[in-house]
Structure 1
Amino acid sequence: MFIAFCNLLFVLWTWRPTPTPDTVTKNVVVLGGSFAGIELVRRLVETLPTGYRVILVEKNSHLHYAFNFPRFAVMKGHESEAFIPYRGVERQAVVGILTRIQGVAVGLTQTQVILASGERIGYAYLAIATGSSQPLPARVTATEQEEACRELRGVQGIIGASERIAVVGGGAVGVEMASDIKDFCPDKDVTLIHSRERLLNGFGERLGAYALAALRDELDVRVLLGERPALPVHVIRGGMAGPAALTFSDGNVEEFDLVINCTGQRPNSSILSSLFPSAISKETSRILVRPTLQVVAADDTPNAAEKETNIFAFGDVAEHGGPRMARAGWMQAPVVLDNILAMIRGKKPSRKYTPDLFIEGAIKLTLGKTHSVVKKPYAQLTVSDSSKPNKKSDI
């Protein structure tokens, strides 16, 4: 914190748009202003030398605090709290060092970012932090706060009008969605369906077992494991729809008033498809990166050699070997920062990203209104229940 403050003071005193009147300011462009991207922007405005500025390209007017979307898709009156203004990072920046453009990047050249509006932005360095996409209610499609709040209120209304609800997907979003619906609306008949044999299979057995017990025994949520019913097309496309019939492995067909799809994430990697198509993994659709988080760039020809590139990718969109969680993006931002600064100084990028699973792999999972559990790799579960003020224990 002290070092960051000193860096900021140094930039405040020394930064100028250009070293001389006849030189051009060079752009460090960051695509995506969610948790990973905004952390890099925050650090760049504290450290960039004279002659460089940051341009943040982000489609949304506010940072979407998507962790709270499952809760605010059920609980009424708080949905505006899930959208955080960007003015905090803008206020701390030296005038002229940061420009935020609300827009969508649709293409790249070796030197420019092309926006949907037709505008072209030159870049000396580019950092791609475009994350991943999911349908409602894990994400919203609106780019303005009021319209996004309207989407969440629409979900609240649909859930309120439905009696039999199926939540498909036993990851964090599905577990929180099912538990919140049942806790806020105890009269609803809620079924959580997961294709694996245990919930939260990416976080270890203890967390999955604990969540299963809380859902079944405390909240009375019906949980079906090892089931992969075919979802209707309108559910896949829209994320939620109803009424719908689901067919299970035993041939049983059940009707639901509402089916909510909480499965999978789609990396937003298509921005590289024209410039470096081979840099997009055919298996995962994520962007392939070196340990320095530089994009693995090569001409799309047989036996083409890798190039040293000024393009970086990190966060959920990148194939970096670490968890796809916000903490991992925060930990990767300094790696990108240091390597960009090294290249500005004429040096080779040398800082490498090594996943720290203890920090980056931690998760805090809510199980209804008052109950939560924290899981850190190689550590015990920490359980808290705010309905019982003194209850907090490791299990």
Structure 2
Amino acid sequence: MAVEMLRFIAKYLPAILPFAFSLLSERIHAFIHRFTYKSVSAPKNVVVLGGSFAGAWLALRLAESLPTGYKVVLVEKNSHFNYVFNFPRYSVLQHREQRAFIPYDGLMKKAPKGVFERVQDVAVEVRDGEIELASGVCVPYEYLAVATGVRQSGPAKLLASEKSEACAELRTLQGKIQGAKRIAIVGGGPVGVEITADIKTFYPEKTVILIHSRSQLLSNFGKRLHEHVMGKMNDIGVEVLLGERPNLPQVENSEAAELVFKGGRVEHFDLVARDPLQGKEKIIPCTGQTPNSSIIENFLPTAISPKNGQILVKSTLQVHSGPKCGTAFENIFSLGDVAETGGPKMGSAAFVQSGIVEKNILALIHGKELSEYKPMSVEGILKLTLGKDNYVVYAQHEDGSDFLMPGKDSNVDLAVAKAWKTFGADFKDSDV
């Protein structure tokens, strides 16, 4: 473990140090900005669509740097910031789900007056120079950043936009898990692995089956991580079925369902969602994600990749219209999971990309040279929980080397308290 940590530091320190100095410089400029920005009656809008990690960080950075005459408008459908990292844990652990929903109110409490506006609404159409919202309101923009993320099934993402209803969704899943004797989880990515390990370690008496279509869990990462996770699953008593892609029924309205595996083997499941305490078996799908790129489909149809549905961007993260970076839309950017950036689909990558978009919007305002986003392997570092007490940190470097560092953490709330602090919210209010 110590040797692995030293290898990790030696490999990534050259990348981390300049980034740390850059963040320090940002904080200094943000402090100065509070006293130099002046509110005006009709500022030009820099609109950010989506208030998850990429969008929220970008909005915060812009609020700390936009010159007088501009303001940032964050359009987000959710009433609270969804700390999705804890959704798998709070799908299992009861009476803590409210802590995953952080008020946006504190995010800009140190920003100067007039620089920020948050609109709780859904953008339904992008046009040249304006956004139409579901409410019928049209918001003009000078610059636009699309950070609408991806659609996923629960527990990775929730349907509700209000905190109370989102908490109810998590409590429903908690009830299903609590009432089940045999639980099948379909999908061996990070969410599937985490919720599997949480269920088995918080409810060791249950039979938990993890089903994955490929021969390796966590298929986007190295084999060493797969082997480590398989060992942990074996230790805690989880059955793992690899290379299986069973038919997944529509579970919402089914009282009984079955999965058909290779060779025609059939497994029966009781899916009585209306009364989960009576269920002996439940299915929790943890499969796939779809980019939320349809918002620009009418306006910029050729800017959506036919391969994966992501928004095509240049290295500057400006949206472009097709093969070989055809027409670029100078004032429209995209970042985070919805964009085809070449970087990992991770929170750390979204943070780095938000810095690039902020710099480039400021560069366009001031007539300066644009910066390019160059993905770094450090952005893809994964911290994966493996039950209530264990985790593993995994990283892959460009040269093919990888790093695997297991650890222990008895804090069942993981890092949610730190997230509340980042958003300027008081964690003492987290149980309200």
Is TM more than 0.5 here? yes
Within 2, Cα distance between the matches of 1:50 and 1:386? 45
Displacement after TM superposition at 1:41 (Å): 1.0
* Aligned partner of 2:225 among 194, 199, 207: 207
Aligned to 1:251: 264
- Change in Cα spacing, 1:241 to 1:35, as seen in structure 2 (3 Å) is farther
Q: Which has the higher contact order (CA 8 A, sep 6+)?
A: 2
The answer to whether structure 1 residue 375 and structure 2 residue 394 are counterparts is yes
The answer to whether structure 1 residue 328 and structure 2 residue 341 are counterparts is no
Secondary structure in 1 matching 2:113: coil
- Change in Cα spacing, 1:91 to 1:241, as seen in structure 2 (3 Å) is farther
Displacement after TM superposition at 1:364 (Å): 0.7
Displacement after TM superposition at 1:310 (Å): 0.6
Displacement after TM superposition at 1:89 (Å): 1.8
* Aligned partner of 2:312 among 288, 292, 306: 288
1:95-141, Cα deviation, whole Å (9 max, x unpaired): 11000000100101110011000000000000011111111221111
Displacement after TM superposition at 1:61 (Å): 1.0
Aligned to 1:222: 239
Aligned length: 373
Counterpart contact for 1:243–1:259, Cα < 8 Å: no
The answer to whether structure 1 residue 353 and structure 2 residue 367 are counterparts is no
Within 1, Cα distance between the matches of 2:255 and 2:344? 33
- Which structure shows the higher helix fraction? 2
Within 2, Cα distance between the matches of 1:188 and 1:282? 43
Aligned sequence identity (%): 49
Secondary structure in 2 matching 1:140: coil
1:1-53, Cα deviation, whole Å (9 max, x unpaired): 442233223322221233xx7xx310000011111111111111111101000
Displacement after TM superposition at 1:309 (Å): 2.4
- Change in Cα spacing, 1:139 to 1:304, as seen in structure 2 (3 Å) is closer
Q: How does 1:100-179 map to 2 (within 5 A)?
A: 100-179=118-197
- Which ranges in structure 2 are unaligned for 5 or more consecutive residues? 1-22, 270-280, 411-432
Aligned to 1:316: 337
Counterpart contact for 1:244–1:258, Cα < 8 Å: no
1:275-322, Cα deviation, whole Å (9 max, x unpaired): 001101111010000000000137xxx999514421000000000111
Secondary structure in 1 matching 2:406: strand
Counterpart contact for 2:35–2:112, Cα < 8 Å: no
The answer to whether structure 1 residue 263 and structure 2 residue 272 are counterparts is no
Counterpart contact for 2:83–2:102, Cα < 8 Å: yes
1:310-367, Cα deviation, whole Å (9 max, x unpaired): 100000000011101111100101110111011111345x21111111x211111111
Amino acid aligned to 1:112: E
- Which ranges in structure 1 are unaligned for 5 or more consecutive residues? 388-395
Displacement after TM superposition at 1:242 (Å): 6.1
Within 1, Cα distance between the matches of 2:300 and 2:329? 13
- RMSD of aligned C-alpha atoms? 1.9
TM-score (norm 2): 0.83
Counterpart contact for 2:153–2:287, Cα < 8 Å: no
Counterpart contact for 1:279–1:295, Cα < 8 Å: yes
Aligned to 1:49: 67
